[in-house]
Every structure is written in C-alpha cells, then in structure tokens.
Amino acid sequence: MEEFGFKPETCRWLIGGLDWPLKPIDFVPRKHPANVKVTDVASGKDLGAMLDAGEIDALISADPPKCMLEHSPRVRRLFPDYVKVERDYYKRTGIFPIMHTVVMRRELLKEHPGVAEAVYKGFCDAKKAAEDRYRFGLIFNNMDTMFPWFSQLFEEDISVLGEDWWPYGIRANRKTLESVLRYHAEQGITDRHFNIEDVFVPELLVS
C-alpha cells in the first residue's frame, strides 16, 4: 500500500496449501473487512499448481513453490532482483519484516512469573550460539556450509543490517512492530490500532 498504492480490496484472496492440498484452517479466526474477498481454494487444489496453470495471477508465500524450483517458464518472481529490492527497502525504511513471534497464554504467565523473560533469554542465547558459529566459521571461510561465497554474503549482510543482523526484543524492532500494528488497523485485520504495550508483556517492553 505504501510503496505502490495497492489496495487489498482490489483482488480476491485464496488461502490454501503451497504444493499440496490443505484442509481449511478453522482454528484461527480470519478477520478481514467486508469489502475484501477471502476464500479457501477448492478441495484437492494447491496454490503452486494453480499459479503454474494460470488459475491465479500471483502467489504470496514464505517458500518458493515447486513450479519455481523447477524453473517453469510460466512463472517468475514479481521482483527478479529481489535481493537488491529488499536491501534498498531496508535502507530506506529501517524495517526488517518480522515473520514469526512467540506467544504465551496469560494463565501460564500468571502461574509462573518470569517465564516470559526466561523464554526470551533462551531464544537470545540460541541466536548468539548460531551467530558465534558463523563468525568463527569466517576463519575457515565457512567451509562446513559447502556454499560458495557464504562468508562474503555474511559480511555483506552485516554491512547493511549491522552486527546484530537479526535483532530480538522491542527496542531494536520498535519501528517494524509499530508499522505492523498500523498495517493491521489500516487493512481492517484488527478492529483498532493496537500499541506495542497492548500486545507484549510488560517485563519485556524494555528488551
């Protein structure tokens, strides 16, 4: 919406499996404005095959569909030079899109004070272990990855994203989080504009 003026209500949205049929997801409410059409794909259909067959015009997915991995001549990325586009977006906005979050039940937090901080620290420690492995690997050109020019990519990413290239916590991600919450309100996914303080436990607001 902000980059190209796209409006969610200008197309239909289909939800389904990437390269295999997926039963409709009914355990999570799918809120959306009345003027945005959202449906499940037909039984036995999958989005990757539909894209390759021309039954849908575009596909949003965290993973590439089979037709892309097999280099179908009928399918291509929306942005062929996507790495350059994504790096430019980060440089201009300071936003590194967040894909996953960790949630807990309120009852668990009440029963076990401090559990949120302990889980957060565990994730931070795990991330540091991975980072340390990559940094140590630079000594040996990261040969254990068996991936050419991996060390160069590692250094390029740090030059763009900084030493903490995948930051955890509220402070480092505040702009991204605020943007996500604003997008949710603007696109009718939430019924009001939530603040960061509304969705994160108080003990982690200073993280």
pLDDT for 77: 94
Chain segment 89-109, per-residue pLDDT in tens: 999 999 988 878 888 999 999
Q: Is residue 15 part of a domain?
A: yes
What backbone phi and psi angles, to 5 degrees, belong to 115?
Answer: -65, -35
Query: Within this chain, do residues 103 and 73 fall inside the same structural domain, yes or no?
Result: no
Task: Enter the tokens of residue 152.
Answer: 């160069």
Chain segment 120-151, per-residue pLDDT in tens: 999 999 999 999 998 998 888 888 888 888 89
pLDDT for 144: 85
Q: What does the alpha-carbon distance between residue 68 and residue 75 come to, in Å, rounded to a whole number? A: 7
Chain segment 5-35, per-residue pLDDT in tens: 999 999 999 999 999 988 887 777 788 888 9
CB-based contacts of 193, cutoff 8 Å, min separation 6: 181, 182, 184, 185
Range(s) of the domain holding residue 106 = 93-204
Query: Within this chain, do residues 102 and 189 fall inside the same structural domain, yes or no?
Result: yes
Exposed/middle/buried for residue 103 (C-beta within 10 Å: 0-12, 13-18, 19+): exposed
Give the percent of the chain with pLDDT over 70: 100
Which of 44, 46, 42 has the alpha carbon at shortest distance from 67?
Answer: 46
Q: Is residue 143 part of a domain?
A: yes
pLDDT for 176: 94
Read off the pTM. 0.84
Task: Enter the tokens of residue 187.
Answer: 């696109």
Query: Within this chain, do residues 173 and 113 fall inside the same structural domain, yes or no?
Result: yes
pLDDT for 109: 92
Which of 139, 149, 179, 205 has the alpha carbon at shortest distance from 3?
Answer: 179
Q: In this structure, is the dihedral angle defined by the CA atoms of residues 184, 185, 188 and 189, taken in order, positive or negative?
A: positive
Q: Is residue 72 part of a domain?
A: yes
Query: Within this chain, do residues 112 and 192 fall inside the same structural domain, yes or no?
Result: yes
- Of residues 98 and 44, the one with the higher pLDDT is 44
Q: Position 91: which residue type? A: K
Give the percent of the chain with pLDDT over 90: 68
pLDDT for 76: 95
Considering its fold, how many domains does the chain have in total? 2
Query: Within this chain, do residues 36 and 65 fall inside the same structural domain, yes or no?
Result: yes
Q: Is residue 13 part of a domain?
A: yes
Choosing from 78, 106, 126, the residue where a domain stops is 78
Query: Within this chain, do residues 46 and 16 fall inside the same structural domain, yes or no?
Result: yes
Q: Is residue 156 part of a domain?
A: yes
Q: Is residue 1 part of a domain?
A: no
Residue range 184-202: average pLDDT?
Answer: 92
Q: Is residue 66 part of a domain?
A: yes
